[in-house]
Amino acid sequence: MDQYSTSELRSQLKIVRRNIANSKEMYDSFVEQEKLLQNELNKRIAKAKNK
């Protein structure tokens, strides 16, 4: 890190923070998708048991 100027460090920090925010949004989206898929699977399993 010594080779970076203060300005470059700030720029890199901004990029990393943006990447963290984007990654969190993606993670949250995947969690929601998993929940929807699991709920649908559970409904189908329950429906099959009731036949």
Residue 42 has what pLDDT?
98
DSSP of 6-43, one letter per residue? HHHHHHHHHHHHHHHHHHHHHHHHHHHHHHHHHHHHHH
Residue 1 has what pLDDT?
84
Q: List, for residues 1-48, the tens digit of each pLDDT value.
A: 889 999 999 999 999 999 999 999 999 999 999 999 999 999 999 999
Residues 6+ apart with CB under 8 A from 4: 12
Q: Reduced to 3 states, what is the DSSP secondary structure of residue 4? A: coil
Match 């189908």 to its residue by tokens: 44
